Amino acid sequence: MPINILMPALSPTMEEGTLAKWLVKEGDTVESGDILCEIETDKATMEFETVDEGVIGKIIVGDGTEGVKVNAPIAILLEEGESVGDITDAPAPAAPQAPVAEVAAAPVSAPVAAPAPSIAAPKGDRIFASPLARRIAAQKGLDLASLKGSGPKGRIVKADVENATAQPAAAPQATAPTAAPQSADANTVMAMYADREYEEVPLNGMRKIIASRLTEAKQTIPHFYLRREIQLDALLKFRSELNKSLADKGIKLSLNDFIIKACANALQEVPDCNAVWAGDRILKLKPSDVAVAVAIEGGLFTPVLRDAENRTLSSLSAEMKDLAARAKIRKLAPHEYQGGSFAISNLGMMGVTNFDAVINPPHGSILAVGAGQKMPVVNAEGELDIATVMSVTLSVDHRVIDGALGAQFLTAIKQNLENPISMLA
């Protein structure tokens, strides 16, 4: 009997993914362990191996199909002695429908003279229409709410709008709002910009997850912020000396490597801050598993350096370089970017002097690192001096860490960075 090949769950939280590319075609013979296709999750592109053997009888979900639910059939495998005719006779489940692509990549432009019609759905009722259908409706002055869609699940498509009789949309209220509602939906926002040139950028899986998780973080996590300034001159001198001695081994330590190590040690020195929020309880971790934000095209990863308190600076540096390189091509495995109790976000290398980072749940805190700058300071002798000063901000989940405890943690980070030799003890 033909075997349905199902969309796999490639991470514990995966609910859907994008079938990026098939590496086999219909008629190919495959064996257990052969790679069938590449699948994009919210964080990575991963290869999917078959566990059965046979012939690919039918590919149900094509290359580039987004929103394929976990356990949905993506292909049919024929066993020995079976043919394509057996698929017709077999009750194969329907494939998830790919979105209808009607709009080209060119920027959208609507006539300036025509006033923007109101195409917003009544409150609580969303109108499903393609971007091209919305644009044509705006140009013809049609109210999308009055049209019946012929596309998948009643979606309004180009033909529905072109065949409709042009008539003005409902007259706007006497007093028009001057700003978009705080939670404006796509219809409302697109109506506001109907007379402006723009390009619509659909959200990929990663962008959707980032939007969802960070909205959840800011709405549900009671953030508070602690700020300190850290003098880097001793660290910069120490780093320069170390790099000279390690040059023959091809090792070059970055400032970020020292920050990772300083934070890992501080989590051990203030163990109550090495914790995460678990809904109705707090989990206190024993090892220092430090996540580090890595910017990639279209989003970011937070690969985790495990047991960082027991690692040498050179090993942390080598692993961080490897994780960052593979993050940029989305080749990290889920266990490499999940977990940790604490994260570092360093925008100092991009010239940002200070900022506040959003906590990545379930972490208890995140350190935002700014750029080091030369500035006047009063030294230990009470004299005016010039020092390289770096501003950092610790964003803290108040459910996990109280103010005084967070201050102890940030002080420990500062002391480690200002006395770098102590980190090697």
Q: Catalytic residue numbers?
A: 398
Residues 6+ apart with CB under 8 A from 297: 328
Residues 76/5, Cβ–Cβ less than 8 Å: yes
Give the phi and the psi of residue 192 in degrees, each rounded to 5.
Answer: -65, -30
- Number of C-beta neighbours around residue 299 at 10 A: 18
Q: Is 58 helix (H, G, I), strand (E, B) or coil?
A: strand
What the block records as the tokens of 63 is 């290359």
Q: Tell me phi and psi for residue 416, to 5 degrees.
A: -65, -40
Residue type, 367: L
Token digits of residue 129: 């229409």
Phi, psi of 156 (to 5 degrees): -80, 125
Residue 155: closest CA among 102, 118, 107: 102
Of the candidates 59, 130, 83, 44, the one whose C-alpha atom is nearest the C-alpha of residue 332 is 44
Type of residue found at 223: H
Cα angle 412, 416, 418 (rounded to 5 degrees) comes to: 115
**200, 108 contact by CB (below 8 A):** yes
Tell me phi and psi for residue 5, to 5 degrees.
-90, 120
Q: Which residues pair with 375 in a beta bridge?
A: 387
Burial class (CB in 10 A: 0-12, 13-18, 19+), 16: middle
Can you read off the two tokens belonging to residue 208? 């959707």
**In this structure, are strands 342-346 and 365-378 parallel, antiparallel, or unpaired?**
parallel
**223: nearest Cα among 401, 59, 94:** 401
Q: Which residue has the tokens 């890595």?
A: 294
- Angle at 160 (CA atoms; ends 159, 166), nearest 5 degrees: 110
Terminal Cα distance for the chain, rounded: 64
Q: How far apart are CA 42 and CA 204, in angstroms?
A: 8
